[in-house]
Amino acid sequence: AALRLGGLTFDDIEIVISDFGEQRHRHLLDGSVDVSTVGRPSSLVEGREAGAFVVWKWANETQPGRQQFAVTFSHRFWTERPAEAQSYVVGYLQGLRAYYDAFEHGVNKDAAIDALARESDYDRDVIANEMVPALVNPDGYLNREGMATELQWLENEDVLPRPIPLDRVVNHGYLDAAIAELGPYRTPDR
């Protein structure tokens, strides 16, 4: 999406694999890498302090609704321990909704920032001022249409050795059961 916005194509770039953190910052500083994506709040602060980069656009600005994260289970876990997998999804969905309410509706936002700082070992100010909240669906569903578009792009650019059928990797069965138990998301009353 960023390439298209700049009038470029995949043919105009060279992908360079680099470790996160210090190595990436060094590559940006010495010019061996021109552009890098970052998402962790500490990378934003460290990179800016090192003079390595400036944040241009967030993913939600260049690709609204882009699927950023997904929960994945091993085959063994979801097939051999379905009760535990289901319990996990119910708990995950409850946490996802609390996160969504905090960052989309301001409900208990300070408590959410405190919890994220405590659990991530990031400074609270970094979480409050540098973190860009992940785009999430409060019912947990993945953006299948967007994922299919990205997979098609990867296939068209010959990045994937063979097509990946989306139905083979996305299964909302446990999520559907969790929503049946908890009910669909409802916007908090103010």
Q: What is the pLDDT of residue 56?
A: 58
Q: Which residue has the higher pLDDT, 58 or 143?
A: 143
What single DSSP character describes residue 73?
-
- CA-based diameter of the chain, in Å? 54
* Whether the predicted pLDDT of 11 surpasses 80: yes
* Whether the predicted pLDDT of 22 surpasses 80: no
**pLDDT tens digits, 44-59:** 777 777 776 666 556 6
Cα–Cα distance measured from residue 163 to residue 159, given in angstroms and rounded to the nearest whole number: 10
H and E: helices and strands count for the chain: 11, 0
Q: What share of the chain is helix, strand, coil (3-state, %, to 5)?
A: 55, 0, 45
pLDDT, averaged across the chain: 85
* Whether the predicted pLDDT of 176 surpasses 90: yes
Element (H, E) at 84: helix 82-105
**pLDDT tens digits, 77-135:** 989 999 999 999 999 999 999 999 999 999 999 999 999 999 987 889 988 988 878 88
Q: Which two tokens stand for residue 161?
A: 């050795």
